[in-house]
Structure 1
Amino acid sequence: MAALSLCGYLLASARTFRPGFPLDDAWIYQTYARNLARYGEWAFVPGQPSGGSTGPLWVLFVLPGQWLGALQWTFFLGWLTLAGLGVAGAWAFARLSPQRRAWAVWAGAFLALEWHLVWAAASGMEAALYTLLVMAVLGALAGDVKRRAWFVLGLLAGVSVWLRPDGLTLLGPLGFAALLREGGGRERSSRLGLSALGLALLFAPYLAFNRHVAGAWWPNTFYAKQAEYAVLRQAPLWRRFLQQAALPLVGVGMALLPAWVLTLRRALSERRWGALAGALWTVGYLGLYAWRLPVTYQHGRYVIPAMAVYFVWGLAGMAETLQLRAQNTARRLVSRAWALLTAGLLLAFWGLGARAYAQDVAVIESEMVDTARWVAENIPEDALVAAHDIGALGYFSGRMLVDLAGLVTPDVIPILRDEAALKIYLDRKGVKYLVTFPGWYPHLTQGRPKVYQGRAPFSPALGGEHMTVFLWSAP
């Protein structure tokens, strides 16, 4: 099921334009992997160690693609992670709803077809693998956990941090379940201690790694993204939270909302603290992004892990509620209508998601990748290039770059949205060319000569612009 679902998305992108990634950030991982393979160094720009990759572990996962084919290998990983997520989701479902264990296979198939998750698996990013680890930890907590398993769960949480710093949030449900489950004070302390120890054994090296390559405890992306979108935090927190909470409901998620509430209610009434921990983590995760990074673009990609957990917890509540063969006609009809509505929305949005994925890939390929290839062929090798989207440029152009988003050039983080300060900075650095969408930096690009501009119809059709190469200063 996962293979067919993923291949459908890849086929849609090939028919629309050509296969590729729907995010420029995916090429950042590929660039780190290529430089690690070629030069044995952790750098986006050769000779300049940096912390511009959110998930160092994902760089290692995509590394074999530098010999086997970057796209082919990464899509193979996407299939494995989507299939693994389906298995983990089915397992979590069975632990949440043991009376409906036979339905677990349908929960796994649901995840393999849910459009956000397929998009993530085909994105070239770490999101699907990170979501798989989250599901494994929270699914384990939903049932009985043996003493030694608490240490393993802590280790899994520690591994997830190497994919996203957000993995640290798993300490919350681990601690919640460890302290509230039945047992004496010593047993509860032991659970908590084992979980914390497992996480710390991998979290401490993660901090040390970042400190070594970037001079900070967290990756540059941790600081840069928050600085770039700081203006969004001016909106009231409740509004930002509602915007984040609406993201899992785009598609089949709306049909599962009543069932998710039922799962939460049942966990409370039956004092099933592990199941409750997963539901609370979902709410807390959405709240964390509402607080620090309240963005909703790219189909809510930052909160896709919370979506997957929400879906499984909702499916468990739905399975406990459905009475497909009830004697009561009204209950039987309502149950069947609910099930059919859920299946219909799942399949309909799989198709809509395939179209959205294909459009996203077409934009990245026609604007970012094609521009990067033009730069490689037409700009002098010693020219310094400034750009906001550096992924494809780093991989295909082979030019020295100044990153206006701050991922590999952290010096610009304090002045990310200050175009006057950026102009002074670029002049001081000796930048020769600026590569960006004109509307992102209207003052920086005003009056600058255009030496190249994309021509494909995909970006304008979605309300966007063409990527443009501006001459910043004469060579």
Structure 2
Amino acid sequence: MVAPVTPRDVGRRLAPYAFPLAASLVLGALAVRGILERAGRPALPLDDAFIHLQYARRLAEGHFFSYMPGEGYTTGATSLLWPLALAPLHLLGLRGLSFVWATWLLGTLAHAALAVEAGRLARRLAGRAAGVGATLMCLGFGAFAWFAWSGMETIPFAWMLLRTARVSAAYCEPDPRAPAPGRRHAIEVAAFGLLTPLVRPEGAVASALAVAALASRPSGEGKPRRLVALVPAMGPLVVPLLHLVIAGHAASSTTMVKWLPANPAYDRAGVITFVQSNLRLLWQSVLDGGEWSAVFVPENFLVPTILGVGALVFRAHRERLPWHGAFVLALVLATALPCTYLSFLWNRVRYVWPFYGAHFVLLACLAREIGGLARRFGKTQAPVTPIVLGLFTGALVTKLPWTLSDLATSARAIDHQQVTLGFWARENLPRDARIGVNDTGAIAYVSERRTFDVVGLTTEGESRYWTFGAGSRFEHYEKLSAERRPTHFIVYPQWMACPPVLGEELHRETVVDQSILGGPTMIAHEARWDLLGTGALPRVATPEGALADEIDVSDLESEETHGYARLGASDQDNVAVMAEAPRGEEEDTPPAEIADGGRMRRSLDRFSTNLAQGRAAALVLRVSADTDVELVVRAGGIEVGSARIPAGPWVERVVMIPPDRVWARTELEVTPREGGVFHAFHYWLYQ
């Protein structure tokens, strides 16, 4: 029989939160005051935070993870639990920008709770002083403060990671001063292991810790009930299964865009190279207070972190707490997980910080060991451990003024650019407008207009084309029905990188005193669709015969049908070009504006064609080059002709393929004769 919970029990459980919550309230008051002073109203420093607000509002309105009215379920919500936690506060009456206060409230509570969990882990491993020090380091850490009042799920997720690690370790290695772990403890471990991946997918780490704990020891009256470990094991599967059942595919659009192993634009070699580069940046810069993290992390902070790993291992061995040491170390190592993301450094390196609470446990262990060495070899009675912890905390706290200033400046930037553009759209665009956006949060939330997410996070089906580049997006837009295409765009033109679809400029907002935006100027355009299809056929070279086949470079479906070898081409090399019609051999064709997608800097194009076997064919090439180049055409590995391409805009050239080199499935190659590169846009074959 479970004993009833008394008010005294509740008070005892809440007592450890009193000081951290008071400190978080003070810090939160400073953060919010700075934002209100700079922005003039509730504001958030990341556009992604408004994505959560939009999903939460739609949930409160009765629509399950539908981003836009009239549209169904989307897979763009990185976090399932964060919008679900915010939605009830919308039902209580928080609307518009007032809804930002809901994120600040929950962020404050999570900030305090995270500090408590870090302190509890450190105390078990290294004593009371270490526990107090870990708590203070969390409270004084700029990244935790920045993200606690950013509107993001970062700090609630960080708390759940540490909480899972602590309760899982305590389940394996109970505190002798506490009651023996029983069914209630097992349920808590299983629940956190199940729920943490629903806050962010990296929460699979917490699931693994919970599974290991529950599978390692018997539970409930001494009988092994290891099947309960299946509960947290299901955690990482919940969201993919939900996507599969409702959307028809397990991978979320965010996964496809941001996670390198799932990004279709990168081959295995490209993924490995990218991850290795990210790991170097993490090691040499982010964890060491370099340019990407200087606003949060003291310079050369990696040194005590590395020493802290040794101190953690020693403390875990000395206290006979191997599970505690292993679980803390697992979270520290998981700091490298974001290195598998394409956008590893964006948004103040936000993917790294949820794992950073475990780093403060390392530093607390290190301070304890330094104090022990001082007593043993220095014969000193000075409180060395508290002094070292004070130095670590002080170094972190010195960053707080810069951090809070940057938070307010970043919130002002998002408000004065994207939020302002959202209000402009609500006041100036018709109710049935559909706005193409590359930052889909604030504009969608504030404008109350339908959006078309060109990145594909919140518009199903678009992420694949974003990952490959602007040329593939342009070719894809040619196939979209008119009702699905945007009527307007509000974008950073350099990010959109698709000038053929950007029409008349309607409005712009420029913010220069910032470092968080995708660019200083975001522009509202009318959408332009008159150039779609203008590059579908040759404009100059018109050989005899009928069109037998077409390879539309950058059109993903056409490339895949013809086995086009992308050969590790990058998204930056996949472009949409708007120019005069290609020059012919006679150079006297009247100019006409056309647009086409293509791939730049090609040293080889290889593809297969569908032709009538044994009949001569004419290959039309739409290509360009930066320097004069001769392109060689091979059919089945044998040279059949060549074409000289002058430096400059695109041209169209014809190369004849003799009948003895034409089969039903003919493999063609186009390559410069003496090295160099060219730019490919289109190939046609006539017979």
Q: TM-score range, shorter-chain basis?
A: 0.7 to 0.9
Report how many aligned residue pairs link the two structures. Answer: 470
Per the TM alignment, residue 443 of structure 1 is displaced from its structure 2 partner at its CA by: 3.7
Q: What whole-Å deviation, never above 9, does each CA across 1:200-242 have from its counterpart, x for those lacking one?
A: 3x55554443334433334332223223995983636443223
Cα 1:291–1:205 change in 2 (3 A) is closer
Q: Which deviates more, 220-229 or 4-13?
A: 220-229
Equivalent residue for 1:160, pick from 187, 193, 196? 196
Per the TM alignment, residue 91 of structure 1 is displaced from its structure 2 partner at its CA by: 1.6
Q: What whole-Å deviation, never above 9, does each CA across 1:254-305 have from its counterpart, x for those lacking one?
A: 4641223311344357663312322432344233322344612222211212
Instruction: State the distance in 2 between where 1:347 and 1:190 align.
Output: 47
Matched, 1:421 2:448: no
Counterparts of 1:20-99 in structure 2, within 5 Å, are 20-48=43-71, 49-66=73-90, 67-68=93-94, 69-97=98-126
Counterparts of 1:390-469 in structure 2, within 5 Å, are 390-416=440-466, 417-426=468-477, 428=480, 429-444=484-499, 448-459=503-514, 464-469=519-524
Cα 1:408–1:462 change in 2 (3 A) is closer
C-alpha contact 2:502 2:528 (8 A) present in aligned 1: no
- Aligned counterpart, 2:363: 314
- Aligned counterpart, 2:353: 304
Q: What TM-score results when the alignment is normalised by the length of structure 1?
A: 0.87
C-alpha contact 1:151 1:197 (8 A) present in aligned 2: no
Q: Which deviates more, 56-65 or 454-463?
A: 454-463
Q: What TM-score results when the alignment is normalised by the length of structure 2?
A: 0.62
Q: Which deviates more, 260-269 or 224-233?
A: 224-233
Q: Which runs of 5+ in 2 are unaligned?
A: 1-22, 175-180, 290-296, 531-687
Q: Which runs of 5+ in 1 are unaligned?
A: none
Matched, 1:196 2:235: no
Instruction: State the distance in 1 between where 2:103 and 2:525 align.
Output: 32
- Aligned counterpart, 1:363: 413
Counterparts of 1:76-225 in structure 2, within 5 Å, are 76-97=105-126, 100-143=127-170, 144-145=173-174, 146=181, 148=183, 149-176=185-212, 190=224, 193-200=227-234, 205-225=238-258
Instruction: State the distance in 2 between where 1:238 and 1:269 align.
Output: 35
C-alpha contact 2:44 2:150 (8 A) present in aligned 1: yes
Instruction: State the distance in 2 between where 1:445 and 1:324 align.
Output: 68
- Aligned counterpart, 2:35: 13
Instruction: State the distance in 1 between where 2:446 and 2:518 align.
Output: 26
C-alpha contact 1:89 1:107 (8 A) present in aligned 2: yes
- Aligned counterpart, 1:282: 331
Matched, 1:242 2:280: yes
C-alpha contact 1:65 1:74 (8 A) present in aligned 2: no
Cα 1:103–1:291 change in 2 (3 A) is closer
SS of structure 1 residue aligned to 2:356: helix
SS of structure 1 residue aligned to 2:436: strand
SS of structure 1 residue aligned to 2:525: strand
Matched, 1:472 2:534: no
Instruction: State the distance in 2 between where 1:418 and 1:371 align.
Output: 25
Instruction: State the distance in 1 between where 2:472 and 2:338 align.
Output: 28
Based on CA coordinates, which of the two structures has the bigger radius of gyration?
2
Instruction: State the distance in 2 between where 1:331 and 1:446 align.
Output: 73
Instruction: State the distance in 2 between where 1:228 and 1:367 align.
Output: 32
Cα 1:284–1:188 change in 2 (3 A) is farther
Matched, 1:350 2:400: yes
C-alpha contact 1:171 1:196 (8 A) present in aligned 2: no
Cα 1:191–1:89 change in 2 (3 A) is farther
Cα 1:439–1:203 change in 2 (3 A) is closer
Per the TM alignment, residue 120 of structure 1 is displaced from its structure 2 partner at its CA by: 1.6
Per the TM alignment, residue 459 of structure 1 is displaced from its structure 2 partner at its CA by: 3.9
Per the TM alignment, residue 249 of structure 1 is displaced from its structure 2 partner at its CA by: 3.9
Q: Which deviates more, 18-27 or 326-335?
A: 326-335
Give the percent of matched residue pairs that are identical in Structure 1 and Structure 2.
Answer: 21
C-alpha contact 2:436 2:486 (8 A) present in aligned 1: yes
Cα 1:125–1:212 change in 2 (3 A) is farther
C-alpha contact 2:125 2:321 (8 A) present in aligned 1: no
